[in-house]
Structure 1
């Protein structure tokens, strides 16, 4: 019997947008996950974010954005009393599912600073990193170069030891710009899952006020 495959998808998700959804879809198209854990950060260690939605709001938006019988939106990082580091979540999952193969999903921006993460080597030993990529020659060259220079991993085509590059088209707007546009009352429905966009409007998150 093959090992259970588990995906860990962490992030601020402030808010969860279609770029996040596409990354998970790209991973699921290549890897038959048995379980998917979507885990919002309690407080972003790598980012300064003054307009962070409440924990309960980000959890609910993630439930609206990500669905499926194998997908669980978890508060394991939000509920943690200490600072939120990915390595702690990785340890929790590997202790609970010791025979499983663990895959950590991330965008290329987070991958390119992965060597600065707390205890990144331990994460890399325990997980396979699944990194979103535009799949252009320049993009793959940059990702491969970083993997070799910082992580000492040689990547042939789109895969190396503990590392895979996914064909996932990123959202052509940053989360910061998305929140600013929402605060200005702009229609951002083309960037957001329908349920998330509706929730933001109804709750008035990020200072959203519909234009009259």
Structure 2
């Protein structure tokens, strides 16, 4: 049976923190692959700033070259609000031989009680909770806690720096940075 790690998010934009978490979890939990699943509209956020086609393309560029990383666009194809339960249900039907591990940060571990059908989810998948500065991994739900060295970077931080004309070099894969420049997104200005 293949052990698959799932990392969901808006990836607005995908950055080194996403890649770092995915690689650490893959190695330390001996997963065969990591599937990045970009959301159309997450239930816990008001809006997604950037069109899904740009986010998907940047994510594909970000994971290119890592044979263990793959992008799965099923939530984008489904459109609408993305509930983890619906995604996991679809994946378990399509890939019945896979053992699914859903990777979440400390912020989402704290939010688990508010997740749609979380009591059903914990019977379908294994949660891996990754430490994040300012958040605890304590929860009444079964979560495999994984302490990793934090990279204190976020998509919001990157977007704000881009809008302010500040450098984000080394925070994004070069291919993602080039895509942002070429498409003049996030209010990009040369620093």
TM-score by length of 2: 0.89
Q: Structure 1: which 4+ aligned runs deviate by more than 4 Å?
A: none
The 5 A counterparts of 1:121-160 are 121-133=119-131, 142-144=136-138, 147-148=139-140, 151=141
Equivalent residues, number: 190
What is the SS of the residue equivalent to 1:69?
coil
- Please state whether the residue corresponding to 1:112 is helix, strand or coil: helix
Matches within 5 A, 1:55-94: 55-67=52-64, 68-94=66-92
Provide the aligned C-alpha RMSD in A. Answer: 2.0
CA contact (8 A) 2:4 2:98 kept: yes
Max radius of gyration: which structure? 1
Match of 2:17 in 1: 19
Unmatched runs of 5 consecutive residues or more in structure 2: none
Further displaced range: 202-211 or 63-72: 63-72
1:101 CA drift (Å): 1.3
> SS of the residue aligned with 2:75?
coil
8 Å Cα contact 1:130/1:165 also seen in 2: yes
SS at 2:26's partner residue?
helix
Q: Secondary structure at the match of 2:88?
A: helix
Q: Which residue of 180, 183, 186 maps to 1:200? A: 180
Q: Distance in 1 between matches of 2:28 and 2:58?
A: 25
| Structure 1, unaligned runs of 5 or more | 152-161
TM-aligned CA deviation for residue 59 of structure 1: 0.7
